[in-house]
Chain A
Amino acid sequence: MTDLPMMPVPVTIKAIVEETPSIRTFYFDPGIPSSPGQFVMVWVPGVDEIPMALSSTHSITVQRVGDATTAMFNLVVGDKLGIRGPLGNGFAVSGRTLAIGGGVGVAPLLNLVTAGQVSTFLLGARTIAELLFAPVIVSACSLRIATDDGTAGRQGFVTDLMDEIDLADYDHICVCGPEIMMVKVLERLNKAGVAERGQFSLHRYMKCGLGICGSCSMDPRGLRVCRDGPVFTGIDLLETEFGKYTRDATGSRVHFPPLHPEKKDEKSGE
């Protein structure tokens, strides 16, 4: 496949917007032509290269979580980054689409919103200050909000908002956020018999982004998040490692806390 990227493309940071206390959007030039849901490998020179969702063709929206993102938060307008991408499959939608996003996971969904492809958006955050892109979303589609502390919208999880709508009304349900949130969404879709309509954007540790190193392979089918994903249907994710464990940079399994600690999870007992 000749459309895989080669050397990182140097881009210059044109603007940095503080979206929330922990999340910033970096606007860069030149842009990276892409479809909603695709991602890029971002090279922070001297530090590392990490996968990042595109929030638009010329921006990435970043939460400070590790060495590379911390280094990014020290960058200023005029600094350069290296970008390899776009990578991955992106969302594929038509008809009526429901978007469900939590935390910085809202970033890849923003591209869908601005493309006019979202009918309803369920937006979750810990607190009102951490709500991401709410003004943009509300100008483009129907928005419902949930916060953990009730400072905006309904108090509770974004999944609680799913009770207020009829999932059968939507042809596609695009989801991105913390894995524990996405698992809860998948459980609800599955219960409603519409798991195949779900499109989940996954995050896994990645080294190459080109589908060759294998660091983002998922059990049990060996699907590569960077190349076969990052967007998978709900059906693809049932009976997989999704929600149970991920892998660190060494390839060792790192288990998530049990979703339902009161129930014995026979599949994670290895």
Chain B
Amino acid sequence: MITLQPGDIDVGGVTLRNHLLLAAGVLGTTGASLQRLLKLGAGGVVTKSIGPEPNAGHHGPCLIRTECGVLNAMGLPNPSKNFVEELAPLKGEPVIVSIFGKDPEEFKEVAGWFAEHAKAFELNVSCPHAAGYGAAIGTDPETVLECTRAVASYGVPVWVKLTPNVTDITTIGLAAEKGGASAIVAINTVRGMRISTAMRRPVLGNRTGGLSGKAIFPVAVKCVWDLYAACTIPVIGCGGVSTAEDVIEMMMAGAQAVEIGTAVMDDVRVFDRIARILYAKDGADPASIVGVAHD
């Protein structure tokens, strides 16, 4: 398979140790947990999404495995401003702080707490199961533009993580670009649900949730493909990546880096496992791979 030259890379205003980031919402609630993933080979880490108030999230079940993915409805649990203390020991590390709010003002308020700590912000305008937050605002281009602009005012790079649950993801990507985003992350989870036939009711406490993992990889590749064609800022691929081959495929669709989430469940050492296959001293220049399938 195709291999890449190892070494630091610059994507969306951030220097990463490799092309493999920990995705938001996975083992990202504590500083120690993020530190562990960096030690285990992640090129950068994205935190749990932090919002304006401490939030306990939805009642359980919050997460179940399916045949080829994971369905979750966590409900954006987070310690809000208390999270600042978690990041103190991570100073200097490639940490991207994921944030959410219900409007540009809330995004700006939350970003303000972390402006000194974040290498970049990742705006969560894509969580599919939190009323009034996430995808509730991320499906409106004007709101995405305003939220991006509000956070970009801090001078810290802003990444915008998009939902695939829209008719045309490029309209949202272009809105983020217009608002001053440094990168677009695609995608968040795909809306889904399961019903327990024995209990005659939806399994998730929130009834519906978001699907991640291998099942959504083709959806993510298509979204990255479309965004690469429509936008000029970097695209970061996210959704079902679990092998080195997936990384190359996502990059050929147009991603400059990838985020990995659900695969961590099967193997907490997934970053190192992929890196050992993905990188070689005589590997290709990553720039020659990104978007090459469009030629």
- Give A residues with C-beta under 8 Å from B: 1, 4-8, 10, 41, 43, 45-50, 80, 82, 84, 207-215, 217-224, 227, 247-253, 270
Q: Determine if A250 and B55 form an interchain contact, defined as CB atoms under 8 angstroms apart.
A: yes
Q: Determine if A48 and B205 form an interchain contact, defined as CB atoms under 8 angstroms apart.
A: yes
Q: Name the residue on A nearest B75 (C-beta).
A: A207
Q: Determine if B62 and A214 form an interchain contact, defined as CB atoms under 8 angstroms apart.
A: no
Nearest 5 pairs of A and B residues by beta carbon: A49-B60, A222-B36, A10-B198, A249-B56, A222-B33
Q: Determine if A214 and B29 form an interchain contact, defined as CB atoms under 8 angstroms apart.
A: yes
**Which of A41, A212, A270 is B60 in contact with, Cβ under 8 Å?**
A41
Q: Determine if B32 and A213 form an interchain contact, defined as CB atoms under 8 angstroms apart.
A: no
Chain B: how many interface residues by the 8 Å CB criterion? 51
Q: Determine if A217 and B27 form an interchain contact, defined as CB atoms under 8 angstroms apart.
A: yes
Within 8 A of A (CB), among B172-201: 194, 196, 198-199, 201
Q: Determine if A1 and B63 form an interchain contact, defined as CB atoms under 8 angstroms apart.
A: no
Q: Name the residue on B nearest A51 (C-beta).
A: B60
Q: Name the residue on B nearest A1 (C-beta).
A: B266
Q: Does B203 contact A (CB under 8 A)?
A: yes
Complex CA–CA separation, A218 to B27 (angstroms): 11
In the complex, what's the smallest C-beta–C-beta distance from B109 to chain A, in angstroms? 17
Sampled A-B contacts (28; CB under 8 Å): A4-B65, A6-B64, A10-B196, A10-B199, A41-B61, A82-B203, A84-B61, A207-B74, A208-B63, A208-B72, A210-B63, A212-B262, A213-B25, A214-B26, A214-B28, A215-B77, A217-B36, A219-B31, A219-B32, A221-B32, A221-B36, A222-B32, A222-B36, A222-B37, A224-B33, A250-B57, A250-B79, A251-B82
- Give B residues with C-beta under 8 Å from A: 25-37, 48, 54-57, 59-67, 70, 72, 74, 77-80, 82-83, 85, 194, 196, 198-199, 201, 203, 205, 261-262, 264-268
Complex CA–CA separation, A4 to B69 (angstroms): 12
Q: Name the residue on A nearest B31 (C-beta).
A: A219
In the complex, what's the smallest C-beta–C-beta distance from B91 to chain A, in angstroms? 15
Q: Determine if A219 and B30 form an interchain contact, defined as CB atoms under 8 angstroms apart.
A: yes
In the complex, what's the smallest C-beta–C-beta distance from B57 to chain A, in angstroms? 6
Would A213 and B65 be within 8 Å (CB), given that A82-B203, A251-B79 are in contact?
A: no
Q: Determine if B62 and A8 form an interchain contact, defined as CB atoms under 8 angstroms apart.
A: no
Q: Determine if A210 and B56 form an interchain contact, defined as CB atoms under 8 angstroms apart.
A: no
**Which of B77, B85, B196, B262 is A7 in contact with, Cβ under 8 Å?**
B196
In the complex, what's the smallest C-beta–C-beta distance from A58 to chain B, in angstroms? 17
Q: Determine if B61 and A8 form an interchain contact, defined as CB atoms under 8 angstroms apart.
A: yes
Q: Which residues of B are found within 8 Å of A211, using beta-carbon distances? A: 264-265, 268
Q: Which residues of B are found within 8 Å of A251, using beta-carbon distances? A: 29-30, 48, 77-79, 82-83
Would A8 and B64 be within 8 Å (CB), given that A214-B26, A215-B77, A217-B30 are in contact?
A: yes
